[in-house]
Amino acid sequence: MTTELTMLYASAVLALFQFVPYTLGYLQHWGFAIAAGNRADTPPLPAWAERSIRAHRNMTENLVHFAAIVLIAKSIGVSNEVTAVGASLFFYARLIYAIVYTAGIPWLRTLVFAAGVAGELMVASQILTAGA
């Protein structure tokens, strides 16, 4: 498996498990009965749990285009050092992003988000130059 596909797989697994922190927040602050219920009129969650939810949502939004870019690159046979580094940058940036966002560190969160986008653009640039 190429580095790009490995990083796509790792990113998908990260997205799959990003629900764990805020689910623990549900259980800790609401209890099992409310967390397992329909969640109507729930008490507010702590700020870290709300940020964790937003980080997860952001990951699922960004995973869509990252997956498309990586799969297009794979389908046209584009795999090189730039695509490998770009895909790795995306994954590690998204991992750090989840931690930093949940911890509530705003400026670092923005920089790490930008690093993930840069990783995507690195892969995408190689697709564009492959046709040239």
Q: Quick check: 70 pLDDT over 70?
A: yes
Task: Work out the mean pLDDT of the chain and round it to a whole number.
Answer: 92
Rg (CA), the chain: 17
Q: Quick check: 132 pLDDT over 70?
A: no
Percent of the chain with pLDDT over 90: 77
Q: Under DSSP, is residue 60 helix (H, G, I), strand (E, B) or coil? A: helix
Q: Alpha-carbon distance 24 to 13, whole Å?
A: 18
Both tokens of 33, joined, read 């009965």
pTM exceeding the 0.85 threshold for the entire prediction: yes
- List, in order, residues 6 or more apart from 35 with CB less than 8 Å away: 23, 26, 27
- How high is the pLDDT of residue 25? 80
CATH topology of domain 3-16+46-130: Four Helix Bundle (Hemerythrin (Met), subunit A) (1.20.120)
Confidence class of residue 109 from pLDDT cuts 50, 70 and 90? very high
User: Roughly what angle, to the nearest 10 degrees, separates helices 3-17 and 81-103?
Assistant: 20
Judge contact between 15 and 56, C-beta under 8 A. yes
- How high is the pLDDT of residue 36? 65
Condensed to tens digits (0 to 9), the pLDDT of residues 14-56 reads 999 999 988 878 777 676 666 666 777 788 889 999 999 999 9
